Amino acid sequence: MGANPWELLSLAPLPAESTCSINVLAEERRRPDMLRRVLLELAEQPTPRRWLEQSRSGQRLSLRFVAGRELEEALRAIARLAESGMLATLDHLGENVTSEAKAAEAAEAAGRSQEAIAARGLPADISVKLTQFGLDLGEETAWRHLARVGERARAQGSQVEVDMEGSAYTEATLRLVKRAHAAQLPVVAVLQAYLRRTAGDLERLRELGMPIRLVKGAYREPPAIAYPTKHEVDENFLKLMRRLLEGPAQAKIATHDERLLAAARARARELKLGADRFEFQMLYGIRRDLQRQLAAEGWRMRVYIPYGAEWYPYFMRRLAERPANLLFILKQILKA
């Protein structure tokens, strides 16, 4: 018999505003923003993380959004996407390392990913998190590792997408991607539409001509820093996306929202943008139908493929982004 489906939401204390996860699930349609906050709270809890990352049932669940624990599994996923005319970005999962040794290990794993992609001729770049490269230990530590993978990407003719994390890291991350861009390293900046500051950041990066990936954002933030409702985030994403597509920066539009995708396609046609100017991006395991549809229509389509043992925070943020994913997961548990 599989795990009790409600255990996944009861292994750690919940915020005071949501004392019963079962009630939250029952009210999902009426209160999606509350459910999102619950899931983001759980993403930061160590108890469910330890249990799920180490259990077989947890690892099976992760395969919905994570290609596997090993690099070879992720490479096979990239190859399958390539057969359908899609590109990929490969991400070795992990964040907030607390030692120089762990930061060096993360950089070495990123390097192995780059070498394997190049050796097999796969149409893929890599994505990195600066806290995984030691940003909590100091910007110079993170810079040293970012420069290494950036130089390798430049030699290979690929790119390095630098993920944006929680708002506590926004300024430092932007400083480092600008530094990398000034050093002529092929980095891609990531901006989050849910942050109130992003319109200004977008304009400053556009002036530099830096490639930009626009995402909605998936971390727990206070309303003073981030728009608190899905509607507000969607509207800001739409405004930023239209501005980003105007150039001169290469635009990477990361969303699964059909309304936003339709608006992006309409704007791209209006501006007569070529394939070199922009691309769509989606996450592994989410809306595969839309991924195939966009590729079949001739749009440049890239899929973000995560792999590795430290998958729990990423997994929970994916559930929070689209609460319907949670219902899918619970159905899989009930079938187990």
Where in the sequence numbering do the catalytic residues fall? Answer: 163, 213
Distance CA 206, CA 156 (A): 25
Q: What angle is formed at CA 110 by the lines to CA 58 and CA 205, rounded to 5 degrees? A: 105
| Cβ neighbour number for residue 270 with a 10 Å cutoff | 10
Distance CA 190, CA 177 (A): 9
DSSP assignment letter at 195: B
CB 161 within 8 A of CB 186: no
Contact residues for 207 (Cβ-Cβ < 8 A; gap 6+): none
How far apart, in Å, are the Cα atoms of 161 and each of 102, 120, 173, 202? 20, 20, 12, 16
DSSP 3-state of 302: strand
| H helices present in 214-323, as ranges | 230-245, 258-271, 288-296, 312-321
CB 177 within 8 A of CB 147: no
